[in-house]
Chains A and B, each alone.
Chain A
Amino acid sequence: MSRRLSVHDRGVVLMASVTATTSSAGSLPEAKAIDGFLAVSLLAVLAVSVRAIWFTPVDAMLGAAQKIFYMHVPAAIVGLYISCSLLAIASILYLWIKDERLDRLAEASAEIGLLFMGIVLVTGPVWARTSWGTWWVWEARITSTLFLWLLVLGYLVLRGAVESPESRARLSAVMGSLAALLVPFIHLTVRLFRGMHPGPVVLKPEKPSLPPEMLLTFLMAIVAYILLFFALLRVRMRWAALRDARAVLENA
C-alpha cells in the first residue's frame, strides 16, 4: 500500500533515477508526498457518501440499511469485476510478454481488489442481518465472492513466499492465469445452488427500478469508486516500481 517515503527512500530514489537508464526498472516515477489523483478520488468517495447518507431519500421498504447499497455495489463492481479482470489479463500477458510492469499491475490489482472485496464481504452481512434476518447465507453470488477473496488471498500469500523477483512474477502469473479459468467454474458451481441475493436493479432490460435521485447517487458512487480504485492502483504500482528499482540497486 502507499506510504510516505522516508529520507532513506528518497536517497534511493535519487540514486535510482540517476541509474534509471541502465536499470531494468525503466524510467522511475517521481516521489511525491501527496498524490493529486488519490486526493481527488478520496474526496469524491467522501462526497458521494455524504450525499447518500443525508441527501438521498430513505427506502420505504428497507429503511436506512438500504444506504449500504451505495457502498456495497460499487465496491463489488470494482473489486470483483475490474480488479479480477486486470489480475487475470496482466497474468496471462506476463507469461507471454514477460514485462515486469505487467507483474506490478497484477500485484497491485490483487491487493486493491482484495481490499474492495473485503468491503463487499463486510457490508453484505450487515445489510443481510437487517433485511434477511441473518448474517450469512450460502447463496450463489455471496459464495463466489468469498471464494474469489480466498483465491486472491492465496495469490498474495504465494507472492510473499517467493524470494527472487523473476520467480515471483512467473509463478504468480501461472496462478493468476489459472484463476482466470477458474472464475467461470466457481460461478457455475455456485449458481447451480438456488440463490436469494437481490437481482440487478440498474442493468435490467426494462427501465431501472430505482427512483431518479437514488439512481443518480448510485451512479455517482460507481464513478467515485472506480476513480478511487485507479488512484490506489497508480500509487501501488508506483510504489512497486520504486521497490523493484531499489532491489536492483541493492543487488548491484
Chain B
Amino acid sequence: MSAQHTAPDFLADALRIARKDLLIEFRTRSAFLAATVFAVLAVVIFRFTWDPTAIPAFDLAPGVLWVIFTFSGLLGLNRSFGLELSERAYDGLLASQVSREAIFAGKVLANLAFVSGVQALTLPAVALFFDLQVGSGWGVLIGVVFCASLGLAAVGTLFAAVASNTRMAELLLPMMTLPFFVPLVIPAAQTSAVILRGQPLADAMPWFKLLLAFDLVFVTACLVVFPFTIEE
C-alpha cells in the first residue's frame, strides 16, 4: 500500500476492482459456465472410473473434490489478466490512482468469488452423486474449502499476472502453480477426509494449521511481490 493511501481506501479500491471483474464475468458468464460444466463432467467421469465395492465413497470423495476444485480454479485464473490485456485495459488500470497492491487484492477477491461460485455448485453435486453423509460437518467443510481457496486464489492470481506476460500463458500457469498448490491441496484433502469420515476435527488439526499458515505467508508474500510483475 502506498503511503498516501489509507486502509479504507485500499479496501474500497480492491472491492471496486473485484466488482468490475465480477460484473464482466456476470455479463458474459463464459468462464463460469465453462468451469462449472468442467466440474460436473469431472464428477461424472470420476463416478464411472470408480469401483464402489473396492473404495468407499468417503475415501474417494476428498480426492475427487480437490482435483476438481484445483483444475476448475485454473480455468478461471487464466481469464483474470487476459481480460485486462485485451484493448490494453491494463495500462488504464495502472495509470489510475489505484495502488498496485489494491489491484492485486481486487483480483484475488474476484477470483475467490469465482472459485467459490464453482465450488458452491460442485460440492452438492459430489455429495449427491457419491451419496456422502456430510451431516453436521457442512459448516466445517465449507470453512476448510474457503481457507484453501484463499491460498489458491492468492498464488493463482499472482502467477496469472506473471504468465500473462508470456507467450504461452494457458500452458505455463498450471506448470507454475501446481507445485505451489501441493501444500494447500494435500492438507485440504486430508481435512475434508476427516470431516467426511465423521471423525472429530481435532484429528485434522495439524493439517488445518498448515493451511492457515500457508494462507498467512502466501497472501502477504504475493501482495509484496505483485508490483514486480508489472512492466514499469
Contacts and interface: CB of A to CB of B under 8 A. Distances in A.
Interface of A: 95, 147, 150-151, 153-155, 157-158, 161-163, 167, 170-171, 173-175, 177-178, 181-182, 185-186, 188-190, 192
B187 interface: yes
B227 to A, nearest CB: 10
Contact of A181 (B165, B175, B221): B221
A197 B222 CA distance: 34
6 contacts: A151-B179, A154-B176, A181-B221, A185-B210, A189-B186, A192-B207
A178 B222 contact: yes
A170 B183 contact: no
A162 B166 contact: yes
Contacts of B168: 161
Closest 4 CB pairs of A and B: A185-B183, A161-B166, A151-B179, A154-B175
Contacts of A174: 158, 162, 225, 228-229
Nearest to A150: B179
B167 interface: yes
Interface string B152-196: 000100110011011110001001101110110011001000000
A173 B165 CA distance: 14
Contacts of B217: 181, 185
Given A171-B228, A175-B162, 11 more contacts: A154-B176, A157-B175, A158-B176, A161-B166, A161-B167, A171-B229, A174-B162, A181-B218, A182-B180, A185-B183, A189-B183
A173 B172 contact: no
A188 B166 contact: no
B165 A162 contact: yes
A147 B181 CA distance: 11
A178 B229 CA distance: 13
A167 B179 contact: no
B231 interface: yes
B1 to A, nearest CB: 18
B179 A189 contact: no
B66 interface: no
Interface in B199-232: 206-207, 210, 213-214, 217-218, 221-222, 225, 228-229, 231
Contact of B210 (A150, A173, A192): A192
B189 to A, nearest CB: 11
Nearest to B159: A175
Nearest to A95: B228
Contacts of A186: 179, 182-183
B172 A158 contact: yes
Between A147, A158, A163, the greatest number of chain B beta carbons within 10 A of the residue's beta carbon is seen for A158
